[in-house]
Amino acid sequence: MNIILALMGAQTKLAQFGDTSITWILNILFYVIFIVFIFYGQRIQMYVMLREVEVSLYKLKFIKEEGRKIAVETIKEIGKPQADPTDKVDRFLEYFTIGPQNLDPAGVVWKLEHILDVRDTRFKDEVKSMAPASDEIQVNNLENTLEAASALNFIYKVIRHYYLLGKKTLSLYVIMQIQMILPLVMREAEAYASALKAFAYGQPIGDGAGALVAAKLMHGYETRKVAKDCVVATVPYEGRTAFVIKAEGPGGNVGKPGDAIKAVIEENEGKIATVIMIDAALKLEGEELGEVAEGVGAAIGGPGVDQYKIEDSLLKYHISINAVVIKEDIGDAVSPLRKEVFDSTDKVLERVKQVVVEKTKEGDKVIIAGIGNTIGIGQ
Amino acid sequence: MSGTSASTTTSRISSFVLLVVFITLALSLVALIFAAALVVGYFNVGNDLTGAYVLLALGILGIAISTYVLVETRRRLSKLKIVVPPVMTTVECRKCGVKNVREFQRGDYIFKETDPCQKCNDKMLITAIYREVKEKEKERFPF
């Protein structure tokens, strides 16, 4: 009853107000909004962008914290440390590497290699001190887990830096540039997040597709160490002798394929008919996952030290180089191996066979190098 | 993991956004009540209905916008979890060809020798570890 009375009162007042007044109000409202947008349009746009970055930053913070938590829990579970490793993990996440000075580029590759070696030794020592009960395979896996957590920490800090800088300076261009690349950054962060679990459990990842092909070729044959963290097997292959190289598994590492290929070439005094490199390659949008492509050149990523060494050795003896790659995106490369990529390793074996038969003669020696992180892949 | 995200959800929604959403919602409700009052007036006194239409439109629009913002904010926050896809391990007996597919266990790796085969007692071998992703229907492009 009271509601009906209230409604009756309201309708009488509104009737007095009249429709002309409502039209007037709407007109004024329209002009006010129009003028506000003329003067403050850019600022409103900036706040919308900032809000978007802020939402992603929350997500990044969550992923980063989860990464840290997974790293600490895995170390506690595998490494059985006496004390809580959280402080050491936090210190590890803040590690940085300073690249060599390249004002005088001569010899920069060796300087870079030295720095990377020092970094690798330092990381392994740190992991061993954090997780004393872990074996060599577990140390490698833990190192990979910590590196993924560290990458997430770095991404979060960079985005936070630009967000706060944008907020402080209210510069549209500072905010705009971070907002524009945000979808790609988030994609990479999500990829690292799924990599964390894979590294912690020692599951094979997409990047290891090349190493898996090599493992399939060398399985059942005797292997020997040829360079740091690399193994080679001498395999009779289509009437030729194949030296199959991969990083030593199943711990997470990429080895030093540059040194391994160089060593095998030198052992055979340069009498190698061809080198075939197999690696995972980033696919372009629109390409199928696990698509196999063939080409020439050293198929290897990373900082470039190994590629330089391989090219140098090949040039010395004028050896041809072929590459077979498996296409995948960044997310698939660092997360557990997808079935499509696993299945395409058989197609790669076919391609390799084709290249060997077409490009070499019976009795020749060939090098087949499977490049990539060999986590979860034995030999 | 999802428990963690759920417990901190409310703290992640900005109080300013919440305030704006609830004010819009309240104003929209008031607009709807006034619209109803005008309709009642139309039946009682025979007023013009234009004002009622405008208020009705404003009220519905306000409710729609504020509900969308609330739902969207919650949806974004509920996405905050690291999805762990199931990873499968294929164990095979090279001698008799028996094949088992089971969930991945820590310590598994490709070409690892595992327990003896139940059929022929020969050592079984892990031949594959992979994850299967059921992809959504792909958008078709003419190129």
Residue A20 contacts B where some CB pair is shorter than 8 Å = no
Strands B87-92 and A365-370: unpaired
Report whether B36 contacts B28 (CB < 8 A). no
B115, pLDDT greater than 80 = yes
Q: What is the pLDDT of residues A113-129, one digit of tens each?
A: 999 999 999 999 999 99
Report whether A92 contacts A74 (CB < 8 A). no
Residues of A in contact with B85 (CB under 8 A): 194, 335-336
Mean pLDDT along residues A324-335: 91
* Domains identified in chain A and CATH numbers: 48-201 (no CATH), 206-370 (3.40.50.1470)
* CA A362 vs CA A234, A241, A273, A355, A356: distances in Å: 15, 9, 10, 13, 9
pLDDT-derived band at A342, boundaries 50, 70, 90: very high
pLDDT-derived band at B2, boundaries 50, 70, 90: very low
Cis ω for the linkage preceding A250 (within 30 of 0): yes
User: In chain A, which ranges are E strands?
Assistant: 223-227, 230-237, 240-247, 274-282, 292-296, 320-328, 365-370
Residues of B in contact with A337 (CB under 8 A): 129-131
Which residue in chain B has the smallest CA separation from A218? B111
Report whether A109 contacts A304 (CB < 8 A). yes
B interface with A, Cβ–Cβ below 8 Å: 1, 5, 12, 33-34, 36-38, 40-41, 44-45, 47-48, 50-51, 54, 76-77, 79-80, 82-85, 87, 104, 106-112, 128-133, 141, 143
Q: Do B87 and A15 touch (CB under 8 A)?
A: no
Per DSSP, the residues of A134-198 read --HHHHHHHHHHHHHHHHHHHHHHHHHHHHHHHHHH--HHHHHHHHHHHHHHHHHHHHHHHHHHH
- Tell me how far apart the alpha carbons of residues A325 and A279 are, in angstroms, rounded to a whole number: 5
Residues of B in contact with A339 (CB under 8 A): 130-133
pLDDT-derived band at B5, boundaries 50, 70, 90: very low
Please name the residues in contact with A347: beta carbons below 8 A apart, sequence gap of 6 or more.
A292
Q: Which site among B11, B109, B126, B134 would you substitute to test the A interface, given the most A Cβ atoms closer than 10 Å to its Cβ?
A: B109
Q: Do B107 and A336 touch (CB under 8 A)?
A: no
Mean pLDDT along residues B39-67: 85
pTM of the predicted model as reported, rounded to 2 decimal places: 0.81
CA–CA min distance B120, chain A (Å): 20
CA–CA min distance A23, chain B (Å): 9
Q: What is the pLDDT of residues A50-74, one digit of tens each?
A: 988 988 898 899 999 989 999 999 9
Residues of A in contact with B61 (CB under 8 A): none
Give the pLDDT of residue A259: 94
CA–CA min distance A377, chain B (Å): 5
Mean pLDDT along residues A149-161: 94
Give the pLDDT of residue A290: 93
pLDDT-derived band at A20, boundaries 50, 70, 90: low
A294 secondary structure, DSSP code: E
pLDDT-derived band at B4, boundaries 50, 70, 90: very low
Q: Which site among A203, A219, A332, A377 would you substitute to test the B interface, given the most B Cβ atoms closer than 10 Å to its Cβ?
A: A203
Give the pLDDT of residue A276: 96
pLDDT-derived band at B7, boundaries 50, 70, 90: very low
A10, pLDDT greater than 70 = no
The chain-wide mean pLDDT, for chain A, equals: 90
Q: Of A260, A237, A238, give the one whose Cα is nearest residue A247.
A: A260
Q: Do A197 and B82 touch (CB under 8 A)?
A: yes
